[in-house]
Amino acid sequence: MLLDDKKIKFLEEKANEIRQSIIEMLLEAGSGHSAGPLGMADIFTALYFHILKHDSKKPDWEERDRLVLSNGHICPVQYATMAHAGYFPLKELKTLRKFGSRLQGHPHREWLAGIETSSGPLGSGLSQAAGMALGMRMSKCEGDSPNCISWIYCLMGDGELDCGQVWEATMLAGKEKLYNIIGIIDRNNIQIDGFTENVMPLEPLKEKFESFGWHMQEIDGHNIREIVDAVEKAKTIFNKPSMIIARTIPGKGVSFMEREFSWHGKSPKPEEAKEALKQLRTLQGKIKSEND
């Protein structure tokens, strides 16, 4: 699908609308994670509105791409994006974390159509993605033809790379050359206890994955063209899995949240939400004026 300037402008506006929905739903819930969802809005927008092969009216379509959200606590951004993409009504976003809601604090695959995996314990998403890729190879892709596979996108937080299971899956996917896995790491440099390089240094991250046989790219996670171009490049690699390190700003779009690890796991209070929405709506007007 062509990514022209008009489409980029649409995606930028949509990402900002999704950020506003995130603030509104977190305010209503009174709990939840703010920094990560705001930081990943551009990537989720690019995925659901340009990259993914999916159908919101047929979420179980066999030929769909799969999106595995490993760091499930950032699910407000997935819920908001799915609602904007037509999976369920926008008004349902206000039920986040409510008793009996389909939109729990971590996604549950049996409760909401379009969610591929249940997540909660960090570090398991890449193993799930590897299992899916192996399953596709065994059941669908005799002869290993690139034309008979679906792409599996595994979204991960950098903090969860502290988990050993991630590296077990990294070794397995590299060994088996599971080329239909495209991982995206949210490299925002924060986790609940502080900055990642203070809690458990991760660098040199790119070289670590390369040593296990992965194709690597590093991008600006807020640049729509870079996001799309990186995915398109990953799709040309058929002898190894791909990982994209997306450098993002946690709390993107809200000045008092940006780069503050204290916002990793809390929601805004009413006055904070009011100010956050004011900033995002001002930004929305700026984006629209630039695009007119």
Measured distance CA(126)–CA(122) in Å, rounded: 10
* Average of per-residue pLDDT across 137-159: 77
Kindly report the length of the chain: 292
Q: Where are the alpha helices (DSSP H) in the chain?
A: 5-29, 35-39, 41-46, 75-84, 125-139, 164-176, 196-199, 205-211, 224-234, 270-291
Beta bridge partners of 250: none
- Is a pLDDT exceeding 80 seen at residue 98? yes
**Phi–psi pair at 68, nearest 5 degrees:** -105, 115
Which pLDDT score is estimated for 286?
84
Which pLDDT score is estimated for 121?
87
Which pLDDT score is estimated for 36?
98
Which pLDDT score is estimated for 148?
57
Measured distance CA(26)–CA(138) in Å, rounded: 41
Measured distance CA(137)–CA(86) in Å, rounded: 31
* Average of per-residue pLDDT across 77-91: 98
Q: What is the tens place of the pLDDT at every residue in 7-50?
A: 999 999 999 999 999 999 999 999 999 999 999 999 999 999 99
Q: Read out DSSP for 28-40?
A: HHT-S--HHHHHT
Measured distance CA(42)–CA(13) in Å, rounded: 10
- In angstroms, how far is the first alpha carbon of the chain from the final one? 23
Q: What is the tens place of the pLDDT at every residue in 177-191?
A: 999 999 999 999 999
Q: What is the mean pLDDT of the chain?
A: 95
Burial status of residue 229 (CB atoms within 10 A of its CB: 0-12, 13-18, 19 or more)? middle
Q: Read out DSSP for 123-141?
A: T-HHHHHHHHHHHHHHHT-
Domain holding 241, by residue range, is 5-291
Q: What is the tens place of the pLDDT at every residue in 102-140?
A: 999 999 999 999 999 999 889 999 999 999 999 998 886
* Average of per-residue pLDDT across 57-76: 96
CATH assignment at residue 15: 3.40.50.970
Closest CA to 231 of 25, 83, 47, 38: 47
Query: 89 pLDDT band (50/70/90 cuts)?
Result: very high
- Is a pLDDT exceeding 70 seen at residue 145? no
- Asked if 244 and 234 touch (Cβ cutoff 8 Å), the reply is yes
- Is a pLDDT exceeding 80 seen at residue 1? no
Which pLDDT score is estimated for 120?
83
Total number of domains constituting the chain? 1
Measured distance CA(136)–CA(180) in Å, rounded: 10
Q: How far is CA 186 from the centre of its chain?
A: 8
* Average of per-residue pLDDT across 243-258: 98
* Average of per-residue pLDDT across 240-258: 98
